Amino acid sequence: MPAHGASALATGSRFRPDKLGVVVAAIVVLSLALQPFALVRANRIVPANGEMIWSALPQGQAWGVIAALLLAAFILFLAVPVRLRLAVSIAALALLAVAVGRAGTYLTPADNNYARISPGGSFYLMLFAFSIALADATVRLRLSPLQRVGFLLLAIAAIGLLLLCGGWSDLSLLKEYHNRAAAFWSEGRTHVALAFGSLAAAGIVGIPLGIVCFRVSGIRAAILNTLNIVQTIPSMALFGLLIAPLAWIGTHVPGASALGIAGIGFAPAFVALFAYSLLPVVSNTVAGLDGVPLAVRDAARGMGMTSRQLLFSIELPLAFPVILTGIRIVLVQNIGLAVIAGLIGGGGYGTFVFQGISQTATDLVLLGAMPVVGMAFAAAILLDAAVELSQSQDRSRKRRMA
């Protein structure tokens, strides 16, 4: 091939568009042009007025931010090296975080405690676009589980630094938080107790039940079908069905009321989440035990292991990655479902969500919703990493036993 032909081919491949990058760039350009970057309200419940990015920031800063975001979109549009895509996505997200906080400060009238400044559609669309680009880059790089956990910790540290430095203090979401700081942490503890407590109870009951289903095949179908029926009941309906029996227990069983058992509140929410958690735990325990190779069992029996030794030394350790996958499903599910507990007085961040809906206060809804999203996202990353690490240990254990 002639030298000029090879050069042209290299140039063409260098400027070849990336399929996902085309979508990301389109979202960034259209959101900058068509959507407000910030929303301004005279108080927390009146309709908002949108401010485009060039009027939401001081003029010099606005055009600098626009130029940087368009440059980031252009780089992601091209089929550039993956590490560069990762760096550009992180830089763009950091710039967005700083810019929206600066917009809150710039747009807030002096000596006005009632005005509310919140991110607009442009911010959320670009946050989504650059987050997708970041996720795509991490997948392409095939980061190890520990590296993904490291990225999560860095993101948490960066958000914490912005909060500590007051970078978002003038945003309406933070003003809602400051007005309800004590309640926020109290409801957070309740939310964690609901999600993690119901998961722990499901593990204590579900793993032994899964072992029984595996060992006694005659009852497996009946138990799994029953749990499947529970899983199909809508969450609100299940909460409602539990009100009457738990109210009766709290009234007629000595000591039940002192334990907090009642028709509404924490108890029915906990029981409902526990019921929803059983199917993934039981079915994944059965699937994990079913997946233990027959040759491994035969080798263990040939070594003189009893059924108990076989279960605890061989079968459960080899089934652990699959069981842990079920636990991951349950935890992420329960973090989200615990929001519904706010409707029946069960507490948790759902309290803010439903208060905000009743008051038409978007920022109060976000005060409850955003921690839930963050908790679910962090839990998914941490448990995905744990699953992958356990799978690698499982493979090495099987190689040693082969």
Question: Among 11-25, 253-267, 336-350, 363-377, which stretch is predicted with the lowest mean pLDDT?
Answer: 253-267
Q: What angle do CA 374, 379, 382 make, to 5 degrees?
A: 125
Q: What is the pLDDT of residue 3?
A: 52
281 in a domain, yes or no? yes
Strand order in the sheet with 49-51: 49-51, 38-41, 116-119
* One-letter identity of residue 42: A
176 in a domain, yes or no? no
Q: What is the CATH number of the domain that holds 201?
A: 1.10.3720.10
Neighbours of 389 (CB within 10 A): 16
Cβ-contact 360, 45 below 8 angstroms: yes
159 in a domain, yes or no? yes
Residue whose C-alpha is closest to residue 224's, from 279, 287, 291 = 279
Of 145, 171, 197, the last residue of a domain is: 171
Provide the percentage of residues in the chain whose pLDDT is more than 70.
92
To the nearest 10°, report the CA torsion of 229, 234, 240, 244. Answer: 0
Q: Does residue 347 sit in the same domain as residue 267? A: yes
DSSP string, 220-254: HHHHHHHHHHHHHS-HHHHHHHHHHHHHHHHHHST
Q: How far is Cα of residue 160 from the mean position of the Cα atoms in its chain? A: 18
Of 171, 196, 215, the last residue of a domain is: 171
* One-letter identity of residue 36: P
Q: How many structural domains does the chain have?
A: 2
DSSP string, 374-385: HHHHHHHHHHHH
- Which pLDDT tens digit goes with each residue over 59-70? 999 999 999 999
Q: How far apart are CA 269 and CA 108, in angstroms?
A: 40
Q: Does residue 221 sit in the same domain as residue 93? A: no
45 phi, psi to nearest 5 deg = -120, -10
Q: Does residue 232 sit in the same domain as residue 376? A: yes
10 in a domain, yes or no? yes
Q: Does residue 127 sit in the same domain as residue 240? A: no
Q: How far apart are CA 294 and CA 190, in angstroms?
A: 44
298 in a domain, yes or no? yes
Q: Does residue 224 sit in the same domain as residue 132? A: no
Of 171, 205, 222, the last residue of a domain is: 171
Q: Does residue 152 sit in the same domain as residue 260? A: no
pLDDT above 70 for 288:
yes
Long-range contacts of the stretch 67-73 (C-beta < 8 A, 24+): 68/92, 68/95, 69/28, 69/32, 69/95, 69/96, 69/126, 70/28, 70/29, 70/32, 72/28, 72/130, 73/24, 73/25, 73/28, 73/29, 73/129
> How is residue 295 written in tokens?
């040759």
Q: Does residue 190 sit in the same domain as residue 92? A: no
Q: Does residue 86 sit in the same domain as residue 107? A: yes
| Average per-residue pLDDT for the chain | 86
286 in a domain, yes or no? yes
pLDDT above 70 for 219:
yes
For range 151-178, the mean pLDDT: 89
Q: How far is Cα of residue 372 from the mean position of the Cα atoms in its chain? A: 7
* One-letter identity of residue 44: R
Q: Does residue 111 sit in the same domain as residue 185? A: no
pTM of the model: 0.84
pLDDT above 50 for 8:
no
Q: What angle do CA 330, 335, 340 make, to 5 degrees?
A: 115
Q: Does residue 364 sit in the same domain as residue 292? A: yes
Q: Does residue 233 sit in the same domain as residue 163? A: no
For range 159-170, the mean pLDDT: 88
262 phi, psi to nearest 5 deg = -155, 175
Q: What is the pLDDT of residue 291?
A: 87
Determine the structural domain holding residue 249 and report its residue range: 181-401
- Which pLDDT tens digit goes with each residue over 97-128? 999 999 999 998 877 777 889 999 999 999 99
pLDDT above 60 for 13:
no
Residue whose C-alpha is closest to residue 323's, from 362, 361, 281, 368 = 281
* One-letter identity of residue 391: Q
Q: Does residue 128 sit in the same domain as residue 265? A: no
How sure is the predictor about 395, in pLDDT bands with cuts at 50, 70 and 90? low
